[in-house]
């Protein structure tokens, strides 16, 4: 591939259904996205090392059998684990949205090693999960989010943003209080659900009951981001559900900044 381009691999498999939306967002930010089925990676028809950004988009991979994202997580961990370690060790980026976040958490990619001892040993494993919403039903609604922490992906996001959610298993639960404390201490919480003014949410502002209102987290480097809400579904201003009532503020919506940040980081640090 042309090394002058920002190459994005958007991983898909049976049940993925948000891959083209993610590709649209990256393409509009000047990157070169490519939709790749996981079997193409497993058969070595496509090499992960040829890309700068790995995206696991939303959907219901393998029908969310067993539990959401578990089967794809096992494939990544057991069959592509070494390649993923090299990819991230090279300073590259990773983004997981909704089902992609579920996959990354259950594969142990997020939150990743949390302290100096774990980082030296490259030890992580699954330290959190995403379980059934407290409401006991599929939540399909728009939510306000407060950007927090430090991440490559959230640079420049200071105000409350508005993204849709669409999930039945979106409640973020850390393994224990120690993991939660380290997520806070390390600045790994990337987004929290909030009310429209950025304050403490109540249902349905926190649509799933996530611990500490967490909607998304990063690894300790800030280069790996996973979140349940869908920034690719508010990439354009006209995707806002009330856009006709709002004063236009350019062509793009709140989600565009996330994709723009990823592409810019690659251009500044990896090309």
What is the average pLDDT score of the chain?
94
Does residue 168 form part of some domain?
yes
Does residue 210 form part of some domain?
yes
CB crowding 35-47: b at 16 or more within 10 Å, else e: bbbbebbeeeebe
Radius of gyration of the chain (CA): 17
- Average pLDDT for 236-259: 89
Q: Which residue has the tokens 């306000």?
A: 144
What is the per-residue pLDDT across 140-198, written as a single tens digit (0 to 9) for each? 999 999 999 889 999 999 899 999 999 999 999 999 999 999 999 999 999 999 999 99
Of 260, 59, 58, 254, nearest to 163 by C-alpha is: 254
Does residue 240 form part of some domain?
yes
Strands 7-12 and 32-37 turn out to be: parallel
Does residue 1 form part of some domain?
no
Give the separation between CA 41 and CA 80, rounded to whole angstroms. 8
Does residue 260 form part of some domain?
yes
- Average pLDDT for 108-120: 80
Q: Which residues are designated catalytic?
A: 98, 230, 232
Confidence of residue 122 (pLDDT cuts 50, 70, 90): low
Token output for 170? 């979106």
pLDDT at 2 over 50: no
Of 233, 244, 246, nearest to 162 by C-alpha is: 233
**How is 211-222 classified by DSSP, letter by letter?**
GGGEEEEE-TTS
Cβ proximity of 169 and 133 under 8 Å: yes
Count the domains in the chain: 1
Give the separation between CA 44 and CA 230, rounded to whole angstroms. 30
Token output for 133? 């919403």
Give the separation between CA 244 and CA 221, rounded to whole angstroms. 39
CA 61 to chain centre: 15
Contacts of 51 (CB under 8 A, 6+ apart): 1, 7, 8, 9, 34, 87, 92
Q: What is the CATH number of the domain that holds 228?
A: 3.40.50.880
pLDDT, position 257: 97
- C-beta atoms surrounding 97 within 10 Å: 29
pLDDT, position 1: 40
Q: Which residues constitute the domain of residue 27?
A: 7-269
H/E element holding 142? strand 139-147
Does residue 137 form part of some domain?
yes
- Average pLDDT for 61-72: 95
Confidence of residue 120 (pLDDT cuts 50, 70, 90): low
Does residue 2 form part of some domain?
no
Does residue 220 form part of some domain?
yes
- Average pLDDT for 201-222: 98
């Amino acid at each position: 591939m042309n090394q002058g381009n920002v190459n994005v691999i958007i991983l898909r498999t049976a049940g993925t259904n948000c891959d083209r939306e993610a590709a649209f967002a990256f393409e509009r930010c000047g990157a070169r996205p490519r939709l790749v089925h996981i079997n193409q990676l497993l058969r070595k028809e496509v090499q992960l090392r040829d890309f700068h950004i790995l995206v696991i988009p939303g959907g219901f991979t393998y029908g969310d059998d067993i539990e959401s994202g578990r089967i794809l997580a096992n494939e990544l961990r057991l069959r592509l684990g070494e390649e993923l370690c090299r990819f991230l060790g090279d300073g590259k980026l990773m983004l997981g949205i909704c089902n992609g976040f579920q996959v990354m958490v259950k594969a142990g990619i997020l939150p990743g090693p949390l302290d100096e001892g774990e980082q030296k040993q490259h030890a992580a494993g699954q330290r959190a999960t995403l379980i059934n919403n407290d409401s006991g039903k599929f939540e399909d609604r728009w939510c306000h989010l407060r950007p927090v922490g430090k991440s490559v992906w959230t640079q420049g996001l200071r105000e409350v943003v508005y993204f849709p959610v669409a999930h039945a298993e979106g409640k973020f639960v850390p393994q224990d209080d120690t993991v939660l404390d380290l997520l806070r201490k390390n600045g790994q919480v990337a987004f929290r659900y909030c009310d429209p003014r950025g304050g403490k949410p109540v249902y349905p502002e926190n649509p799933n009951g996530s611990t500490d209102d967490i909607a998304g987290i990063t690894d300790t480097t800030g280069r790996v981001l996973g979140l349940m809400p869908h920034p690719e579904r508010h990439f354009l201003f006209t995707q806002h559900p009330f856009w006709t009532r709002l004063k236009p503020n350019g062509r793009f919506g709140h989600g565009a900044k996330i994709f723009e940040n990823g592409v810019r980081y690659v251009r500044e640090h990896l090309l």
